[in-house]
Structure 1
Amino acid sequence: MQLVVGRIGRPHGVRGEVTVEVRTDDPELRFAVGASIATDPPGRGPIVIEGRRWHKGNLLLVLAGVADRDTADQLRGTMLVIDSAEVEPSDDPDEFHDHQLIGLTVVTTSGEQVGEVTDVLHHGQDVLVVARAGQDDALIPFVKALVPEVDLEDGRLVVDPPEGLL
């Protein structure tokens, strides 16, 4: 599974630097000088990072073969992706990456099947989007009180929803 670690934004200056919307918790590792990163769409990459710096809170990259503003602008909107196998699992048993949760079957503590996790939203509070057959998606806050068990080996997530949540 491909994971987005960044998105190329507007050019910065006239020498081909690009801004990057960072979507990873480890930009120093993912955007290291010399790193080759796959792209979506695939035809725009892979890209090789020749330089990196932070400017006013924005990550700026110098990419191999991109020496002017026009070339940099052609990359705008390109997603920078890695394979999920490259992501180290967390040492914390209560911490999960989005790609680990997506696709899990959701059941209640009483064993009733709810649906499948299709997305994880991060809007201050992590929220699981659960697709339910013949019904609207359910939004379940990803907190221990409501999600007491995540079993990656069995591909299942147990929820203890308060009345009215589902």
Structure 2
Amino acid sequence: MTAAARPAPDKSFVTVGRVVKPHGIRGEFSMRLYADSPSLFDEVDRVFLDMGGRRPKRYTVAKWRMHKGLVLVTLEGVDDRTAAESLRGADVQVRKRDLPPPDEDEVYLHELEGCDVVLPDGAPLGVLTGFIETPQQDTWSITTPEGRELLLPAVPEFVLDIDLDDKRIVVDPPEGLADVCTD
């Protein structure tokens, strides 16, 4: 499974990161990446920056590199620190259609949102409605039929099967976890 992206408000885009701050004086900025690998920018050279409230603006990635756990990005047309500063806090998005296909045993997180989540016996647990990404593991937010939130660590021991065609995920949560939301 890959943590390649969060869904963006416009469903034709996927948010892959967020601009943190300028880096240097030549327009480079640091970005917190939500994707598993920055090599995404080797295959996707066009990004859209969403500043909120406006239509995302298109940019071409001139270059990128890793630095202290963040991705440093230079975009064409962003030539100085002031221009990079104006992008602080922007969501970095790509069009879904521009994403490289995932490996055979991987899926993009945005493809899972809205899937029905069921227990091994087929009993409904809820609907996958969000994600919490941490360095240790992803955690899925599942909304139960009663409207409660269940947080499930998205690890192989608990996620048994993902069927994107049927929009169905089979999970076997740790003992007692599902009971917390049904009591």
What is the TM-score of this pair, normalised by structure 1? 0.81
In structure 2, relative to structure 1, the CA distance for the partners of 1:103 and 1:52 (3 Å cut) is: same
Displacement of 1:44 after TM fit?
5.4
Residue-by-residue CA offset, 1:36-84 (whole Å, 9 max, x unaligned): 2112135452112233344455432222222222221111111111123
CA distance in 2, matches of 1:53, 1:145: 34
The answer (yes or no) to whether the contact 2:127–2:142 under 8 Å persists in 1 is yes
The runs of 5 or more residues in structure 1 that have no matched partner are: none
The runs of 5 or more residues in structure 2 that have no matched partner are: 1-10, 179-183
Displacement of 1:31 after TM fit?
5.7
The answer (yes or no) to whether the contact 1:100–1:152 under 8 Å persists in 2 is yes
Cα RMSD after superposing both structures: 2.5
1:7 maps to: 18
Residue-by-residue CA offset, 1:134-156 (whole Å, 9 max, x unaligned): 34211122234333222111111
Corresponding residue to 1:38 among 31, 48, 51: 48
Give, as a single letter, the amino acid of the residue that structure 1 aligns with 2:160. Answer: P
The answer (yes or no) to whether the contact 1:5–1:30 under 8 Å persists in 2 is no
* 1:62 pairs with 2:65: no
Q: Secondary structure at the match of 2:114?
A: coil
Q: Which has the larger radius of gyration?
A: 1
Give, as a single letter, the amino acid of the residue that structure 1 aligns with 2:57. Answer: G
In structure 2, relative to structure 1, the CA distance for the partners of 1:110 and 1:62 (3 Å cut) is: closer
Corresponding residue to 1:25 among 36, 61, 69: 36
The answer (yes or no) to whether the contact 1:109–1:158 under 8 Å persists in 2 is yes
2:110 maps to: 99
